[in-house]
Chains A and B, each alone.
Chain A
């Protein structure tokens, strides 16, 4: 009758305070060590003003010259994304534990995939420029490997999350492994895959526009040159055009992806 139910003790406050303190200490330490301080920002402000004033007005006459490299940039992104996406299909299937039961297969494939994903796109580009020489081919390869890693990773996670029911039904029907994948897995994973492909393309257009900095083709080469010659009005034009193209592609891909899922 007289059972006393003790109210649970309120969580201790000091935990919260300690956590915050920890983050602030880390932030301040890092900032001092790397000399990334608000002081630097304030000191740079006048320089920023000068740069901006030199950028305006952008050199509109430069537009015809940069149009072709801009198209090339989008083409590099497109081809690289497509090929990387194609390569990602078999690899993501091999990675998924619900498709390949043997860890002997999926674990090594996952390991390779993770290795590929640790390498940033600009590093890929630098490596391929060293191998294949300056030009868009190296850029395309960089984009290919980068998007392969991204798409394969996202897709195999989507595959592992699909409804196992249709796969079970296909087993019961007497389907072999390939038929099971084509009829039970791909229809379920396809919209996700397409969405990731578009997402990778969005990212890749942005990435491809700076690949030229390491000599891997595209608009980045001209950006590098304009900056080197202190032609900030031309650089502004390049940035403006890149912005427009990226916005258009982003918008288009967002609309398409919403329809897919």
Chain B
């Protein structure tokens, strides 16, 4: 059925997984024969227990993790076979947001955001920090989109956790990416800042049509923000559908026992039992300590 849907969709295909598997050196299967197509402008939320392969899936897209088998195409180019300058050029078009922000805390916000531009210029130019004027404007514009323009010249470690995460969103935006990947972006944040960060990601996705893929632990957030939810279990896609289709039952299947897709899809009326609750701070704390 899937190919029919693809034909109807007028969106350009942005990411393609062709039979992708990842086996870690210790024998753990991170991904197991994944076939997946993500279209331009989608806001995909990947859900699943920790260890289900969410991080592996996300990090294989910009090849922070090398896959063992298969091929991943970004906008028609294989990142799996790319290397050197070509690999860096593909990565330049993919912004990434991390659970622990990964900012240089001693540097200014501006320098952190400008570091998103290094892929666009020569080594010599960037080493001496000679970014063109347009880059500074671009960086300020990116900061304005996350409402942090006035913090541009503060040191990153003077900002709160939520602000730091929004700086890292600005850094990704400064890349002028076609894709933004966010690996558990809110797992180290409190409920209020969680919402701000998710709102920023959603707004950027809608305003700039940047394809966005987010790993999340929290089902309520997934339902509220996603245009498409993918459920992973033991390295396999066990659910792929709209937030309306992702009922509580579906989630319990993703998280628990094996899922029988045909049984569950459309079993509940859309929107019927969608509860939008911000998860407890305690829940967030409990997950924030997990390794990526």
Contacts and interface: CB of A to CB of B under 8 A. Distances in A.
A188 B168 contact: no
Contacts of B116: 173
Given A174-B92, A179-B118, A169 B127 contact: no
A151 to B, nearest CB: 20
B123 A179 contact: yes
Interface string A160-190: 0001011011111111101100111001101
A58 interface: no
Contact of A179 (B100, B103, B126): B126
B89 to A, nearest CB: 7
B89 A184 contact: no
Contact of B171 (A163, A169, A182, A190): A169
A173 B175 contact: yes
B91 A171 contact: yes
Interface in B168-199: 168, 171, 175
A173 B104 contact: no
Interface residues of B, number: 31
A69 interface: no
Interface string A64-83: 00000000000000000000
Contacts of A135: none
Nearest to B107: A187
Contacts of B94: 172
B127 A182 contact: yes
B241 interface: no
Nearest to B115: A183
B102 A174 contact: no
A176 B123 CA distance: 8
Contact of A173 (B101, B111, B119): B119
B194 to A, nearest CB: 20
A167 B119 CA distance: 14
A176 B115 CA distance: 12
A184 B36 CA distance: 33
A146 B91 CA distance: 43
B251 interface: no
Nearest to B114: A183
B59 to A, nearest CB: 9
Nearest to A170: B115
Contacts of A171: 64, 91
A174 B119 contact: yes
Contact of B118 (A166, A168, A175): A175
B62 interface: yes
A174 B118 contact: yes
B210 to A, nearest CB: 15
Given A174-B88, A183-B118, A187-B106, A168 B98 contact: yes
A187 B127 CA distance: 12
Contacts of A176: 88, 123
Contacts of B96: 169, 172-173
A190 to B, nearest CB: 8
5 contacts: A166-B102, A174-B89, A175-B119, A178-B123, A179-B127
Interface of B: 62, 64, 88-96, 98, 100-107, 111, 115-116, 118-119, 123, 126-127, 168, 171, 175
Given A170-B115, A171-B64, 11 more contacts: A165-B101, A166-B102, A172-B62, A173-B95, A174-B91, A174-B175, A178-B127, A179-B126, A183-B111, A183-B126, A188-B104
